Amino acid sequence: MVSKLRIGGFSVQISELRKENELLDIFCSLVEIPSPSLHEEKVIAWIQDFCKKNKINYTLDDYKNVFIKIPANVSGKEPIMFSSHMDVVGDDSPVKLYLEDKKFISAEDRTLGSDDKVGVASALMLAKYIVNSDIKHGGLEITFTRDEETNMSGIEHVQFQNIDSKYILVCDADKLAQLQISGASYTNAKVSVKGLIGGHSGIDIGDTTRLNAAKLISELLAEFPQGVFYQDETGVITSCNLGAIVAGGVQNAVSALVNEGVKSKDYITEIIKRSSTNIINIDAKASYSIRSASVEKEEELKNIMKHIVERFNKKYEGLAKAEIDFEVHLLAFEKADDDLIEKLHTKACDKLGIKNEISSFHAGAETHIYCHQKNSKGETFMPSLLGLADIYNMHSANEKVDYTTLLKGYEIIKNLFIEYNK
């Protein structure tokens, strides 16, 4: 099958597009190399080769993250850094590109990998441009990390003390001209309720001291916040979501399914079919996710949940006991008072006739790690999450990227770099 796109009555093959535009060629070269998390070796080698050919200074750290450093060519200006990750969601199966209405898409039943090959390609193109230009600047730093999609182990191994930049643009959002200035934490709240006696649902059902933990946890959770807890003009800031409820009557059912090796597309139904109904449950648990771009609002939410548990325990003292524990998995990326990057991004977009979008995002990214670290000068990093293309159906077999927006996204970061160094 020949990959073609109809433009103005002319058939243009991907190979011709690549010849016409180096950024698209870099992007296509990168996405054609499968790089699942912790298997980025081939992409790293391609980046090394690109840097060598274009006289771009780079190093690899002990974890094989790539660090590019283009020194300042004028005094009195500070460097700025761009950061992207090299791994993608998906396996190591081949990636074959074709075009669909100005969008790159994988011909196979797998992800395209535009997350985050868009960021890597754009940063490499910028590095080549700066090396070959006479723009007066304070320096450009670029970091390409491994294993962002699975464990964020790459960013955890970055040698922050070797970075001179204060401002970091993490090029990993999925919409052109998006600038996200805060992002939510992730905390897992675990709730448990224990009945103190239990018993047989027939013989002991009349004993009012034998309370059913499954029923009690339902009562408790009905008091907890669910959904959006707080939002402002940038979007949802703090939320609370019930993920799962499990009670004692399922234990024998789960054990039987495991022992029998039952395979099912609907384990919930299978478990319910086999669950015990002749017991007064003494054990029930629930799991919540708490996300918040504000430490203050997250603590407010946690305190509300704690107080609900305290009231429950007073009500059922001597009959049942509830507990709640919070496990922090990702710290919040809070909005900074410094709005320099917001202003520069707006200027860069205005020059291209593009309306930018400044917002908060309700998920985690490498911004959350950077904002809690310091650079070589002891300054706390000030990251932002930047979108350089319109990506559709991210992380799916139907993932697409509009290549016309990719071209515009590169122009945004080039203009931003120029504005930063004025």
Same structural domain, 74 and 177: yes
Q: Among 276, 301, 330, where does a domain finish? A: 330
Same structural domain, 158 and 14: yes
Report the chain's mean pLDDT, rounded to a whole number: 94
Dump pLDDT digits (tens) for 110-130.
Answer: 899 999 999 999 999 999 999
Average pLDDT over residues 173-190: 97
Same structural domain, 106 and 254: no
**In the structure, what pLDDT confidence band is assigned to residue 152 with cuts at 50, 70 and 90?**
very high
Cα 86 to Cα 155: distance, rounded to the nearest angstrom: 11
Residue 5 has pLDDT above 70, yes or no: no
DSSP 88: B
Nearest to 27 by CA among 110, 133, 109, 99: 99
Same structural domain, 26 and 162: yes
- Paired with 128 in beta bridges are none
What are the backbone angles phi and psi of residue 329, rounded to the nearest 5°?
-105, -25
**In the structure, what pLDDT confidence band is assigned to residue 12 with cuts at 50, 70 and 90?**
low
Same structural domain, 90 and 196: no
Dump pLDDT digits (tens) for 318-350.
Answer: 999 999 999 999 999 999 999 999 999 999 999
Dump pLDDT digits (tens) for 242-263.
Answer: 999 999 889 889 999 999 999 9
What does pTM read for this prediction? 0.86
**In the structure, what pLDDT confidence band is assigned to residue 1 with cuts at 50, 70 and 90?**
very low
Q: What is the CATH number of the domain that holds 229?
A: 3.30.70.360
Same structural domain, 294 and 167: no
The boundaries of the domain holding residue 63 are: 4-183+333-420
Q: Among 330, 365, 381, where does a domain finish? A: 330
**In the structure, what pLDDT confidence band is assigned to residue 9 with cuts at 50, 70 and 90?**
very low
Cα angle 170, 176, 178; round to 5:
55
Environment class of 208 (CB within 10 Å of its CB; exposed 0-12, middle 13-18, buried 19+) = exposed
Q: What is the CATH number of the domain that holds 48?
A: 3.40.630.10
Same structural domain, 78 and 144: yes
Same structural domain, 294 and 385: no
Cα 214 to Cα 28: distance, rounded to the nearest angstrom: 54
Torsion of CA 207, 208, 209, 215, to 10 degrees: 110
Dump pLDDT digits (tens) for 261-320.
Answer: 999 989 999 999 999 999 999 999 999 999 999 999 999 999 999 999 999 999 999 999
Same structural domain, 230 and 364: no
Cα 112 to Cα 394: distance, rounded to the nearest angstrom: 8
Same structural domain, 302 and 198: yes
Q: Among 330, 357, 392, where does a domain finish? A: 330
Q: How many domains does the chain divide into?
A: 2
Dump pLDDT digits (tens) for 15-73.
Answer: 899 999 999 999 999 999 999 999 999 999 999 999 999 999 999 999 999 999 999 99
Environment class of 338 (CB within 10 Å of its CB; exposed 0-12, middle 13-18, buried 19+) = exposed
User: Count of CB atoms within 10 A of residue 189's CB?
Assistant: 22
Same structural domain, 403 and 286: no
Q: State residue 315's pLDDT score.
A: 98
Q: Are 66 and 144 in contact (CB under 8 A)?
A: yes
Same structural domain, 144 and 24: yes
